[in-house]
Amino acid sequence: MGTLTLSTRITLLRIALIPVLLWLLVAEGRIERAAVLAAIVFLIASFTDFVDGYLARRWQQTTVLGNFLDTTADKLLVVGALLGLMAVDRVNVWVAFVVIAREVAVLGLRAIAAASNVVISASIWGKIKFNVQVVGITLAILRPEVQLGSLWLDEWAMLAVAVVSAASAVDYFARFGDLIRAGR
């Protein structure tokens, strides 16, 4: 294997930050400002998604490994954050299920596509989904004391995350579902 590009190393940093995020999420009450530190770690990890992609394109260093790791790191970050938030009762189990099921389903679709030598690039829905996830998860970590009706602000945001995640899945399967049918 050749040398890892800077963008791939940044992607690996995103993966390495996930256990730190989880540790901070479950340390709330034992470490001062654990939620704020967890939000900062999550936002830094999320920002690396922009940085690694920008650098890879800018320096024309896109690689199959880098693309695979980038997509996987995004999913690990979101799933890890949701599992940590479920552990501290900051996210509805059904919302987490919808988001995690979407991530697994689209990952499976990408694997089927890769076996057929088809590259599935992120759609606009995928990009919107990730940004909505970042906002919703950050709010769930911080849980601002803003209640709108019967739900907290972060709970409304996480409902939006579930809806946008589901819409993103529908978009991917509408565009590439024929790969699954062709594999039968």
Range of the domain at 146: 6-182
pTM, rounded to two decimals? 0.91
* In a domain? residue 71: yes
Distance CA 58, CA 94 (A): 39
Distance CA 133, CA 104 (A): 15
**Residue 136's CATH number:** 1.20.120.1760
* In a domain? residue 171: yes
pLDDT, one tens digit for every residue, the chain (184 residues):
557 889 999 999 999 999 999 999 999 889 999 999 999 999 999 999 999 888 888 988 887 777 778 888 999 999 999 999 999 999 999 999 999 999 999 888 888 887 777 777 778 998 899 999 999 999 999 999 999 999 999 999 999 999 999 999 999 888 887 877 775 4
Per the CB < 8 A criterion, the answer to whether 9 and 57 are in contact is no
* In a domain? residue 1: no
- Count the domains in the chain: 1
Distance CA 82, CA 129 (A): 15
* In a domain? residue 146: yes
